[in-house]
Structure 1
Amino acid sequence: ECQTLNTLVNHIHGSIYSGSGIYAPDGARTYYYNMKNEDGHLLIAELDSHPRLSPASPPAVSWSSYASSVERFSQNDHDFSGLIFHDQFTFTELTKPEGNLTVCQKDLCCHLSYKMAGKQEDEVYVLGAFDGLHVVEGQYYLQICTLLKCKSTDLNTCGQPVETAETKFEMFSLSGTFGTNYVFPEVLYSGVQLAPGEFEVLNDGRLISKTRTTTPVITVTLFGRCSCVSLSVFWIFIFLALRKSVLWARGYVLIKTALCIS
């Protein structure tokens, strides 16, 4: 009898990295996070080579199904901009302990339904949307919907790194009008902890909490990677670079001819 064993090994840590993980369609198989020192940790996990062919595999998610079928929850005149890792997001503040909000950027609209379990007065949460080309440490097109805690009550700090929180949520439901099938959910609790088993993704694309969160929330996010757009932008850059080179070469030839340079 022939058996196939797929093992993935991962290790990355250092002054600019805080850990790493091994992930599968059904969640994190193993991960390591450490901001206290530069000690590393070797991660080993077994993964299915074709997880979608397994009878236990969940059905495919239609990521924009729900978000595209509902009207915009709210028309907030107080949207503002902020940066997350050099990307300019459009934010709107969660001003009430519970409610429904929508924020849009370009073709992406993010919908949030939520209920906080005793919001702390010194904490501010926002709903953010980003639909654009990320150009730092690589170039790729992203669509992101995120619920996140700001670093302070100053809205200018929204998007800056946060590691702790005090506010829990009775429930949340996050969705977006994504133009890609490659969307990755993430829920981070206070202390930058993952929350395996405490949320789920419905077939219509909603990321929802199963029960009241057991730990205060830092962020709830849906990351969409639009590889086709990234590839198109890449070829546009190549075309422009080549076109610029050709024009420069033509100009150089004309100058040489005018000056009678061999």
Structure 2
Amino acid sequence: MITSSFQASVAVLALVTLHVSALDTFIAAVYEHAVLRPKGTETPVSRDDALLLMNKNIDILEKAIKQAAEQGAQIIVTPEDALYGWKFTRETIFPYLEDIPDPQVDWIPCQDPQRFGHTPIQTRLSCLAKNNSIYVLANIGDKKRCNSQDSTCPPNGYYQYNTNVVYDAKGQLVARYHKYHLYSEPQFDVPEKPELVTFNTTFGRFGIFTCFDILFHDPAVSLVKDFHVDTILYPTAWMNVLPLLSAIEFHSAWAMGMRVNLLAANIHHVQQNMTGSGIYAPHSPRVYHYDMETDSGRLLLSEVDSRPRTSPAYPTAVDWSAYATTIKPFPVQKNTFSGFISRDAFNFTALFENAGNLTVCHKDLCCHLSYRMLRKEENEVYVLGAFTGLHGRRRREYWQVCTMLKCKTTDLTTCGQPVETALTRFDIFSLSGTFRTEYVFPEVLLTKVHLSPGKFEV
């Protein structure tokens, strides 16, 4: 159940006291990076040209890392694809790759740069962490030689992975993660199985995954459920898709649904709707950034609980389905109609009155809404929607969604299309659903794509 009172465009699915010791909290940083990309990615470049571009991007990241460290940050997350961009082929990405060893080798590249061959990018990242005494997560490309006689070995003799690396405050490589759920990345290979990567610090236990991984059980849910991490480090190159998949909207909801900290660093590239980074705590966003107006990057910092489960503010687990089944279904509306959100066929019913109780179902999912509008704009229409099934064009994720949202126009055929502004003010609403999973992510997005820290409860 989501309950709230505010001016809404979409609704879906603490200060630390002075006596708390330093290790009970930490200062986190994320950097939204306006990446410098190659002019073209269809023709391979030399290794020297690839290094030149990557070092230009690291020059920008270096300023952010130094600034974060100067402000007391103990860890910083930089985005996916931050060193070279995206949209490569296997051949054109190859000059940008390095061989990244398993962290068990106990390696500080800054002190021993030649130990694993030519690794200037890893060396520079290690030195940035060491020289600024800060944990640094960066996303780079890993290459692993394979046996050409093996039928799974690619023609060039290398597996190529979209990879996160973490260096600690001494510059030591402490984590390496190969992205499992590739979105549209023909330049990279899928690992044999999802990797569950964690590392411990004096300020909590951390897990790692990348971008599209967040929509799947493994590795995302398993890291929290089975490995009991406190904080997820999350580099992404996320293209915002309204109404349900704006970066700040879903990432803040994921942190609340999984009840962990999420440090999300996105690329900044407005031409492809890429913006939206944040530091999200289990109960509420701490700080976030969404900017479709400028071309600049942005550093975000916030203090968060190192071990949120021990915090007095830690939210209790909610059994959504158990709650929803206690609600006597409101009369099923006769004016239910079908509509689409990102290729998903929803059942909708319109909120024609200024207040009411509605139920709409899709297959075995029933969504219940109680609401009261303080002021309804005559030229705005809102609907309650339900969907259960495989999502989108790829049909790789099974979704169950209950949503209250504003239609693009008063024409009901526009319900589900992207909307950024809303004027109708809701005094209160309560939204719940008979979901078949315990992993439910409560989204609330306000007019002009803003979050609502502290204004709703689950």
- Give the TM-score normalised by the residue count of structure 2: 0.41
Relative to structure 1, is the Cα distance of residues 37 and 87 closer, same or farther in structure 2, using a 3 angstrom cutoff?
A: farther
* Rounded Cα–Cα distance in structure 2 between residues aligned with 1:69 and 1:110: 12
Partner of residue 383 from structure 2, selected from 114, 126, 132 = 126
Name the structure 2 match of 1:13. 268
CA shift for structure 1 position 46: 4.3
- Once residues 112 and 159 of structure 1 are traced to their aligned partners in structure 2, the CA distance between those partners, rounded to angstroms, is 17
> Any gaps of 5 or more consecutive residues in structure 2?
1-20, 31-264
**Aligned equivalents of 2:304 and 2:352: distance in 1?**
43
1:109 to partner: Cα distance: 0.8
Structure 1 gaps of 5+ residues are 202-262
Of 289, 294, 301 in structure 2, the residue corresponding to residue 44 of structure 1 is 301
Distance 2:297 2:276 in 1: 7
Deviates more, 1:137-146 or 1:162-171: 137-146
Higher RCO (CA-CA < 8 Å; seq separation 6+): 2
Alpha carbons 1:81, 1:91 under 8 Å: kept: yes
Which residue of 2 is the match for residue 67 of structure 1? 324
Q: For the residues of structure 2 that align with 1:2 and 1:26, how far apart are their CA atoms?
A: 21
Q: State the alpha-carbon separation in 2 of the partners of residues 169 and 21 from structure 1.
A: 26
Q: Which residue of 2 is the match for residue 106 of structure 1?
A: 363
Instruction: Tell me, in whole angstroms, the C-alpha distance in 2 between the residues paired with 1:26 and 1:130.
Output: 26
Closer/same/farther in 2, CA of residues 198 and 2 from structure 1, 3 Å limit? closer
More strand by share: 1
Give me the identity figure in percent.
57
Name which of 19, 30, 35 aligns with 2:292: 35
Conserved in 1, the CA contact under 8 Å of 2:342 and 2:392?
no
User: C-alpha displacement at 1:13, in angstroms?
Assistant: 1.7
Distance in 2 (CA, whole Å) between partners of 1:142 and 1:122 is 31
Output the TM-score relative to the length of structure 1: 0.70
Q: How does 1:51-90 map onto structure 2 within 5 Å?
A: 51-90=308-347
The residue number in structure 1 matching 2:46 is none
> Per the alignment, in what secondary structure is the counterpart of residue 309 of structure 2?
helix
Tell me which residue corresponds to 2:402. 145
Partner of 2:415: 158
Q: Which residue of structure 2 lines up, in the alignment, with residue 96 of structure 1?
A: 353
Cα displacement string for residues 182-209 of structure 1 (whole angstroms, at most 9, x for unaligned residues): 11212222111111111111xxxxxxxx
- Measured in 2, the distance between the counterparts of 1:26 and 1:200 equals 9
Shift of 1:50: 3.7
Structure 1 residue 145 displacement after superposition: 0.9
Q: Is the 8 A contact 1:7 1:46 kept in 2?
A: yes
Aligned residues: 201
